[in-house]
Amino acid sequence: MALRIRYRMRHRNMSKAMGPCGGPLGRITRLRKLVTGVVRFERIESVFGWTDETRGYVERMIQEAIKHGDRHGPTMELADFWLLEKDLIHKLFKVLVPRYQNYTTAFTSQYMLPNKYPGGKISMAVLELKGNCYPPIKAKERDTSQLLTNILLDVARQDYVLQKLQINNSTRPSMESASCWHSQNNVIIPNYVDEITTHINTLSIDPKTSTEV
């Protein structure tokens, strides 16, 4: 099953995760601590690269728990490995699984924190589980679909799609498409234009926050 977040093709090395010469074991130890922290406190601040790595593991762990439940051996072992504090295993299966049972989105949110000038290469980020009890990081969910730019872009997108489909439809009987395989072989192309225009009109555009990573 796919994760509902963007993740890298390769894991980050996290070379100084548990001090110098920590190696892969240092990375895993740090990730376990962070995963434990997220599940316990539901909102943690850390280095962006580290939070991004933990996010994948947290999402996967919750996903597996939802899929298999708490009677499944391998899932229990997974939770036992990643959660260093064992009371959180109960929290995972009894609190988080019911909370996230019907979610269609990711279970975590991640936001970049500001750097005080001059800053450095490393940015901090805050990783939180959705549905937590704390004050929301983004107080207002701004609906940007009614901004003029977005309206114009939506219309432009519709026009472009229609244009493309009409070109495809119009080339069926004409001489211009002599090279077209379909016209040469008398293949019937179904008319998708009407279907897609009705689909576009029913589309709702979700407001996407630009600072959500």
Binding site for other proteins (CB under 8 A): 40-41, 43, 45, 85, 87-88, 90-91, 94-95, 99, 111-115, 118, 123, 126, 131, 133-137, 139-140, 142, 210-211, 213
Nearest-approach distance from CB 169 to other proteins, in angstroms: 42
Nearer to other proteins, 14 or 44 (CB): 44
- Give, in order, the Cα–Cα distances in Å from 35 to each of 52, 58, 65, 84, 96: 11, 6, 15, 9, 14
Asked whether the beta carbons of 34 and 125 are under 8 A apart, the reply is no
Nearer to other proteins, 41 or 160 (CB): 41
Nearer to other proteins, 138 or 182 (CB): 138
Strand locations in the chain (E):
43-47, 108-112, 124-129
Nearer to other proteins, 18 or 112 (CB): 112
Helix (H) or strand (E) holding 109: strand 108-112
Nearest-approach distance from CB 192 to other proteins, in angstroms: 38
Nearest-approach distance from CB 201 to other proteins, in angstroms: 30
Q: How many residues does the chain have?
A: 213
Nearest-approach distance from CB 105 to other proteins, in angstroms: 13
Nearer to other proteins, 54 or 109 (CB): 109
Nearest-approach distance from CB 127 to other proteins, in angstroms: 13
Task: Provide the 8-state DSSP code for 114.
Answer: P
Cis peptide before 118 (omega within 30 of 0): yes
Only one residue has tokens 């805050």, namely: 126
Phi, psi of 126 (to 5 degrees): -115, 130
